[in-house]
Structure 1
Amino acid sequence: MKKWLFIWIAFAVAGCSNDDGVGLPDNPNPNPDADVVVQNFMWQAMNLWYFWQADVPELADDAFPTDEEYTNFLASESDPGAFFDNRLRFSEDRFSFYSDDYTELTQSLAGISRNNGMEFGLIQFSGSSNVFGYVRYILPNSDASTKEIERGDLFTGVNGVTLTAENYQELLFGEDPTYTLNMADIQGNDVVPNGREVTLTKEENFQEDPVYLTEVFENIGGENVGYLMYNGFTNEFDRELNEAFGFFVSRGVTALVLDLRYNSGGSVNSSRLLSSMIYGTNTDEVYLEQQWNDFIQEAFTEDDPDALKDFFASAVSSGVPLNTLNLDRVYILTTRSTASASELVINGLNPYIQVIKIGTTTRGKNEFSLTMVDDPNRPGAPFIYTPEREGSINSENAWAIQPLVGRNKNAVGDFGDINGFIPDIELQEDLENLGVLGDPNEPLLARALQAISGATAKSFNQPAMAAEPFTYSKLFLPMKDNMVLDKDIQLPERLLKNFR
């Protein structure tokens, strides 16, 4: 009687029992006097959905024969976050995480965050714990967009305090919404403070439009080349993404440069839509296939072997037809910040068209996750968050978890490389010449245009001061670099009935 030991509440209240007379499993329940509500939710959700459930002995169905043993395990860490990390998360899992505020987490998936509009990377000085930052881009209509700061600017301190590996989180990502950056310049091979200051304030509930730039360059080797900088797979902006491709179609675009260098992921379905806009609305061809833990895999596929396959799309969720370029190749700009759903686009398109990657190696994240809250009674999909069930979430527990629940493979069974996709044309970003995004002279875009045109006159050398951050601002948003499976998940009712 695997997994369904905790959904009894939803059905027992209705007084149901199955025709076969199968009773409830002997399910351990925590002592109601123990302060383990959050830990109990975490264990139950991970026991059912977690991709590595079979690899964590404490998540086994029979791990705790008695209520007392189960309660003691849940109480072994008083901090729910420490409990999740130390007792539930598999050692090889690099990306599952938790939040003590599910509202903040779910808003982040919609591109909503507390943000001043400056996206940046952080680099550690060689042989020192000191850190400096560089501006990657500025979000329109943000506080930063009104200040004297732009892509390529450098900073070495905050509020007069030198940034270090030990203090940067507190200074840049702390509770204070306002901070003052101490700016710097490159002098020789050094980054040196220049005395200039820029004060920025984070705005609550700021929403980023991920469709950052669209351009068309005409007659590049006889082709009209579209350029799209897309910075997050946010399904609330699928319509805007489709409109961008409508613009490309109207301009006769026959080649595409897709800039995903700072796109760390998001919606799986948005990746499917984007890939369909590039390749075509071929709804009989597989874009991806999901692989879950053994029990979920069997539950989904027992009656329908194709149940876990997603096909290329023909319309956005509202029913509006997709604008598609029907290309046989695409040029994708990448860095180490290119992750999850961005890598899914690369992998999903690989069996069908030529994908030319320009830049540096991607992150290497092919697992997808689900947002889970304390809602064990959700029909067909216990614990999976849905806005319509806000009133059913345990009011005493605002915690959420974002566990990895599966991996995506493409139409030929390739999961991708956990070490990332290696570029076909390697070119690092240059701190001394980051360039203007969308400008044909910006180095990565210029290299892509050269590849399209076939010209060889201009040489592109690896920079002396490469932009290789050890972390970057988006990793400190609640959703980080997760890939989220945003589709209706319903486990077969037949299986649920077996455990009523």
Structure 2
Amino acid sequence: MKKILVMLFITAIYSCSKDEDLSLTKTVDPDGSADVEVQDFMWKAMNFWYFWQENVDDLADDRWENTETGRAAYTAFLDSDDSPADFFTNKLQYIEDRFSFFNADYRELTNSLAGISKSNGLEFGLVRFQDSDELFGFVRYIVPNSNASDADIQRGDLFTGVDGQTLSLSNYESLLFGTNETYTLNMAEFSNGSVVPNEIEVTLTKEEALAENPILISKSFEIGGENIGYIMYNQFTNEYDDDLFAAIEALKTAGITNLVMDLRYNPGGSVNTTRLLASMIYGTNTSDVFLRKKYNNKLQEQFSDSQLEVYFTDKVNGKTINSLGFSKLYVLTSSSSASASELLINSLEPYLDVIQIGDVTRGKNEFSTTLVDDRENSYLYTPGRVNKINPKNLWAIQPLIGRNENAEGFSDFTSGLQPDILLKEDYGNLGILGDQNEPLLAKAIEAITGQTGKRDFTVKYPINIISSSKENSLMSDKMIDDTVYDLEF
């Protein structure tokens, strides 16, 4: 029995049986006049891996004949846009694909997937003023040990401008997510139902290689005869699997009887980390199906049903999982909960009662993988093979390559997962994360204990974000296929 990444297994099949099916092999540009090496990599990688390959006419296997005339036409096609970015978007991406993307440097992309980025540590949402193109921001949380953690700014604070310019639909990306390493926020306050600018300014600087531990809060408290565990988990990052394991173990030792997973700001991440967390919560029966994979037709036919299934596991990096074994899980969500966050909910639904509290999730049910110009490895990014990547082409693409179904075959949530208890965040009453009176956590406590009390959960100023700091990161809405299988061949 050989333990291997599923993608490497596909590579083995591909190299043995699919090489002759490529519509074009080595010769691309007969006269050498076009600089299309990046576009050639993109086309060939997408032709094989892309989930919607058969829906994009220009990705068809027989789109060009493998003749001199065909190769010349193919080269002209590759050279038909001003840049590789435009080529990817205009020629290769399916119209219904909201989430595939690219990066001119694979190193920046892979660092982001590991939870490392250039950031000032301010996590925020952006809201549109009614009947206006102007925006205001609200602080969701501050990353510990970041530049923002040393500034006079905290959750719930509001801002309406950057460097003296009022935020709007047309400028927020350049002001907040541009190349400027330092910016000054023009702060505001909430007064009589309105967001009103004040004279306060907060200057923040983006730092290289800021690593965010996704476990922002892990605690337990006893209320109404229940011992309730709470974890605020902000990204499925496999570099912190041991920390996640330790957090669950500590809560189990504390004797919790219920668990609240706060995924409201979690944009997704590692499929394998999601499987580990699900196993810690539900159980370690390695015969229980966690998910089934569905690829494009060209890949799907290469596998047996059992090879497309991913099972719950009993270990995290060699350590034995002692599952909580709960019959219910309480999950807090928002419109920023996406991808792997939704996978956790959907894959646990067949096995336990998942009580979702908050807002409708993002609706991201496809998974992706990182592809680079390593043609001997079928374009798969493999850390041990970085010296094999074409040094003239550092571009990476992150296309959607499949869809994950739960054990009951359900995966149709492109419109988002609907909460059992709808409760939007209120920018006039955000509360303190991890505090028992914070509205979403308080609602979960009420659902667990059955004690309604006299608390008013009326949302006067519901948050409907148009963007956020997470959504403008490379990790936004990502479900990264890094699941490890035991395969025999």
Q: TM-score normalized by structure 1? A: 0.91
5+ residue gaps in structure 2?
A: 1-10
1:329 paired with 2:325, answer no
Query: What's 2:28 paired with?
Result: 30
Number of residue pairs aligned between Structure 1 and Structure 2: 470
Quick check: 1:213–1:230 contact (8 Å CA) kept in 2? yes
Q: By how many angstroms is 1:457 displaced?
A: 2.1
Q: 1:295 aligns with which of 289, 293, 298?
A: 298
Kindly provide the CA deviation profile for residues 309-332 of structure 1, in whole angstroms up to 9, marking residues without a partner as x: 11111111x211124211000000
1:186 paired with 2:190, answer yes
Query: What's 2:244 paired with?
Result: 241
Equivalent position amino acid for 2:207 in 1: E
Task: Quickly say closer, same or farther: Cα 1:166–1:229, change in 2 above 3 A.
Answer: same
CA distance in 2, matches of 1:291, 1:252: 39
CA distance in 2, matches of 1:465, 1:92: 32
Equivalent position amino acid for 2:238 in 1: N
Q: By how many angstroms is 1:362 displaced?
A: 0.4
Query: What's 1:111 paired with?
Result: 115
Task: Quickly say closer, same or farther: Cα 1:58–1:490, change in 2 above 3 A.
Answer: farther
Task: Quickly say closer, same or farther: Cα 1:233–1:174, change in 2 above 3 A.
Answer: same
1:206 paired with 2:205, answer no
Q: By how many angstroms is 1:24 displaced?
A: 7.7
CA distance in 1, matches of 2:293, 2:37: 31
Equivalent position amino acid for 2:414 in 1: I
Kindly provide the CA deviation profile for residues 18-53 of structure 1, in whole angstroms up to 9, marking residues without a partner as x: 9xxx97866363204311011000000000000000
The aligned runs of 1:393-404 (5 Å cut-off) are 393-404=389-400
5+ residue gaps in structure 1?
A: 1-6, 12-16, 494-500
Query: What's 1:309 paired with?
Result: 309
Query: What's 1:354 paired with?
Result: 353
1:370 paired with 2:369, answer yes
Task: Quickly say closer, same or farther: Cα 1:50–1:428, change in 2 above 3 A.
Answer: same
Query: What's 2:62 paired with?
Result: 62
1:177 paired with 2:181, answer yes
DSSP 3-state at the match of 2:471:
helix
Equivalent position amino acid for 2:392 in 1: E
Query: What's 1:225 paired with?
Result: 228
Q: 1:479 aligns with which of 475, 478, 481?
A: 475
1:384 paired with 2:380, answer yes
Quick check: 1:98–1:401 contact (8 Å CA) kept in 2? yes
Quick check: 2:46–2:92 contact (8 Å CA) kept in 1? yes
Q: By how many angstroms is 1:98 displaced?
A: 0.8
Q: By how many angstroms is 1:275 displaced?
A: 0.7
Task: Quickly say closer, same or farther: Cα 1:252–1:480, change in 2 above 3 A.
Answer: same
CA distance in 1, matches of 2:100, 2:274: 20
Task: Quickly say closer, same or farther: Cα 1:396–1:91, change in 2 above 3 A.
Answer: same
Equivalent position amino acid for 1:246 in 2: E
Kindly provide the CA deviation profile for residues 366-403 of structure 1, in whole angstroms up to 9, marking residues without a partner as x: 1000000001101xxx1010111100000011111000
Task: Quickly say closer, same or farther: Cα 1:25–1:83, change in 2 above 3 A.
Answer: closer
1:254 paired with 2:251, answer no
CA distance in 2, matches of 1:410, 1:440: 33
1:466 paired with 2:466, answer no
Equivalent position amino acid for 1:377 in 2: E
Q: By how many angstroms is 1:306 displaced?
A: 0.3
DSSP 3-state at the match of 1:274:
helix
CA distance in 1, matches of 2:157, 2:60: 51
Query: What's 1:39 paired with?
Result: 39
Q: By how many angstroms is 1:460 displaced?
A: 3.8
Task: Quickly say closer, same or farther: Cα 1:23–1:188, change in 2 above 3 A.
Answer: closer
CA distance in 2, matches of 1:489, 1:280: 18
Equivalent position amino acid for 2:36 in 1: V
Q: By how many angstroms is 1:64 displaced?
A: 1.0
CA distance in 2, matches of 1:62, 1:490: 35
Query: What's 2:402 paired with?
Result: 406
CA distance in 2, matches of 1:385, 1:362: 29
CA distance in 1, matches of 2:74, 2:117: 37
Quick check: 1:130–1:162 contact (8 Å CA) kept in 2? yes
Equivalent position amino acid for 2:362 in 1: R
The aligned runs of 1:263-274 (5 Å cut-off) are 263-274=266-277
Quick check: 2:439–2:457 contact (8 Å CA) kept in 1? no
Identical-pair percentage? 52
CA distance in 2, matches of 1:55, 1:45: 15
Equivalent position amino acid for 2:375 in 1: P
Task: Quickly say closer, same or farther: Cα 1:320–1:25, change in 2 above 3 A.
Answer: closer
Q: By how many angstroms is 1:461 displaced?
A: 3.3
